[in-house]
Structure 1
Amino acid sequence: MRRDLLQSLTLTLLQAGRVWRRAADEVVTAYGLTEATALPLLLIGRLGGDPRQTVLAEALGVEGPSLVRLLDQLCDAGLVIRREDPTDRRAKVLHLTAEGRARAAAIEARFDTLRDAVFASVDDGDLRATLRVLRALQADGGEAGARGASSKETSLTADAAPALRLDAGARS
């Protein structure tokens, strides 16, 4: 019984992630971005101030070198400026340009509308319960993967991890 529930949950998580990813992609492509470039842009705005590049990489769950390519694209598009950290010249801080702030705000507004529509029939209690389950999955799934777990349920859960980041923008 539990195995069936877990298999159903992980499969549904993957399918729902794909649905959300398609919807999110439609939003960001309307603003000339990809999902990969939109997430850093949005998180720089949400983190506030001028976050360090390492802080953004951690928030996105990516390695620094992977983030550099995306930041290069955002800088080339005139949306982000990379500066030396005044307190540590080895570190870089990120700053949204006026256009970057405007585009991030417009995308956030579209995501708010999309979330309202997608989750209109889901009450707040169910949303909170879902967040608890997904956060446990993020924490425990990562630990299980690090231990080299090999069960099918764990593999499906680990495969679902990218889907969890899709809505990095969801405000909880």
Structure 2
Amino acid sequence: MNKDVDVFGPLLHGTARAWRLKLDERLKPMGLSQAKWRTLMHLSNAPGPLTQAEIAAHLGIEEPTLVTLLHRLEGDRWVARKNSSQDRRCKTVHLAPRAQRVIEQIKTEAFQLRHELLDDIPASELRTCVRVLDRIRQKAEKGNGSAKHNGARRARVGKNGQN
């Protein structure tokens, strides 16, 4: 067996988890848990309001779990839910003014952390890593239809490896 292949999955998962936990530490003083800041950032990156189903699909959680999270976010005045103009059976979620103001702080903290963690990685190695991860992601998504099936708006890796 190839040792690199065996450790790749756990290493990828552990790296993503450690990165998120570091960002959690920085955002906690703002009153933001990982569930909250991920939801706010997803809403801020979307081209328009999202339905609860779209948010749940993107976050990889069940809708009832999301509803509980949205109740908390709404109670803290981070988001507002409104009846959908296209489908009266569902609600769309909008960032509240309070969230609009904190989004830049979240982005700044994420930017600073990203630079701290990637600072000493040579650009050529980082480019290779981004290319390889993008190929693996594309291969994993190919043919499974999960993003299409659940209505998620998939994030695409940009030129600089950010989405």
TM-score, shorter chain, exceeding 0.5: yes
- Displacement of 1:51 in angstroms is 1.9
Q: 1:18 to 1:53 in 2, by over 3 A?
A: closer
Give the structure 1 partner of residue 162 of structure 2: 171
Within 1, Cα distance between the matches of 2:68 and 2:87?
Answer: 22
Shift of the 85–142 alpha-carbon distance from structure 1 to 2, 3 Å rule, reads: same
Secondary structure (helix, strand or coil) at the match of 1:30 reads helix
Q: When the two structures are superposed, what TM-score results if normalisation uses the length of structure 2?
A: 0.76
Give the CA deviation at 1:102. Answer: 1.1
SS of structure 2 residue aligned to 1:94? strand
Deviation string, structure 1 residues 58-85 (Cα, Å, up to 9, x no partner): 2222232221111111111001001001
Tell me, yes or no, if structure 1 residue 110 matches structure 2 residue 130.
no
Q: Which residue does 1:150 correspond to in 2?
A: none
CA distance in 1, matches of 2:61, 2:127: 26
CA distance in structure 1 between the aligned counterparts of 2:50 and 2:83, rounded to whole angstroms:
11
Partner residue, 2:154: none
The whole-number CA distance in structure 1 between the counterparts of 2:40 and 2:60 is: 15
- The number of residue pairs the alignment matches comes to 146
Aligned to 2:150: none
Q: Which structure 1 segments of 5+ residues have no match?
A: 147-169
Paired amino acid for 1:42: M
Identical aligned residues as a percent: 27
Q: What is the Cα deviation at residue 19 of structure 1?
A: 2.4
- The residue aligned with 2:27 is 28
Q: Cα RMSD over matched residues?
A: 2.4
Q: How does 1:60-139 map to 2 (within 5 A)?
A: 60-138=59-137
TM-score (norm 1): 0.72
Could you tell me how far apart the structure 1 residues matched to 2:65 and 2:91 are?
15
Structure 2 vs 1, CA of residues 128 and 69 (structure 1 numbering), >3 Å: closer, same or farther? farther
Moved more, 103-112 or 59-68: 59-68
Report if aligned partners of 2:23, 2:109 keep a CA contact under 8 Å in 1: no
Structure 2 partner of 1:55: 54
Deviation at 1:134, TM superposition (A): 3.2
Are the counterparts in 2 of residues 31 and 107 from structure 1 also a CA contact under 8 Å? no
Letter in 2 for 1:126: E
